[in-house]
């Protein structure tokens, strides 16, 4: 609802109509102007650029909120430090033959695989929906008078479509994150052991 503003501009047009009167009889008739009637017509216009801006602003704000929430799910830096401390704690660090770097290098490599997805959303298809939904009523980047209602309906439909697509993308990204963490959890120790053996 914060991204639905469409500015409607109004402009008055004044039209003058002559008031004519016919005088005379039969063959001697003549028409003369006896005055003028003034009519004021108000035209309304709205720019398509407002809808494009609303789509862009909605997308930017949604991406900001979604990616902040994804980052809030897991503090990756903190998680990595806790795992590192746990793994190092499993070794006897008082042993003079113990080389912490031998463990830290493969550990760092394994930890780099733990990532939070960043959601990117292509909004170009929503811009093309504008032309599809408003075909034939756009003139010079604006819609006029009764067509402004069509613009507002098109905007609501496009934003609803974006919201639905974003919801599906979030759900998909959550599945990817869960799958990624599951894979990393099951392969984590094996990866470290393998890299330790390779570096020995």
Mind listing the pLDDT tens digit for each residue in 104-116?
777 777 777 777 7
Q: How far apart are CA 51 and CA 152, in angstroms?
A: 9
185 pLDDT above the threshold of 80: no
Mind listing the pLDDT tens digit for each residue in 39-90?
888 899 999 999 999 999 999 999 898 888 877 777 778 877 888 888 777 7
Q: What is the mean pLDDT of residues 137-156?
A: 91
Quickly state the pLDDT bin for 118 (edges 50, 70, 90). confident
Phi, psi of 94 (to 5 degrees): -80, -15
Cross-strand partners of 38? 16
CA angle 94, 104, 79 (to 5 degrees): 105
């Amino acid at each position: 609802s914060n991204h639905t503003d469409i500015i409607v501009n109004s402009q008055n047009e004044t039209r003058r109509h002559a008031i004519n009167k016919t005088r005379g009889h039969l063959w001697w008739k003549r028409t003369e102007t006896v005055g003028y009637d003034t009519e004021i017509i108000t035209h309304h216009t709205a720019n398509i650029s407002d809808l494009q801006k609303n789509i862009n602003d909605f997308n930017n704000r949604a991406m900001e909120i979604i990616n902040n929430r994804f980052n809030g799910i897991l503090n990756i830096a903190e998680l990595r430090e806790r795992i590192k401390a746990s793994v190092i704690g499993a070794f006897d660090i008082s042993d003079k033959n113990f080389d912490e770097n031998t463990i830290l290098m493969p550990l760092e490599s394994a930890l780099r695989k733990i990532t939070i997805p960043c959601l990117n959303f292509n909004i170009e298809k929503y811009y093309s929906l504008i032309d599809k939904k408003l075909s034939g009523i756009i003139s010079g980047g604006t819609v006029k008078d009764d067509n402004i209602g069509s613009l507002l309906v098109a905007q609501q439909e496009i934003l609803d479509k974006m919201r639905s697509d974003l919801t599906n993308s979030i759900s998909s990204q959550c599945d990817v994150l869960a799958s990624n963490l599951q894979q990393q959890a099951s392969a984590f120790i094996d990866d470290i052991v393998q890299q330790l053996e390779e570096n020995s």
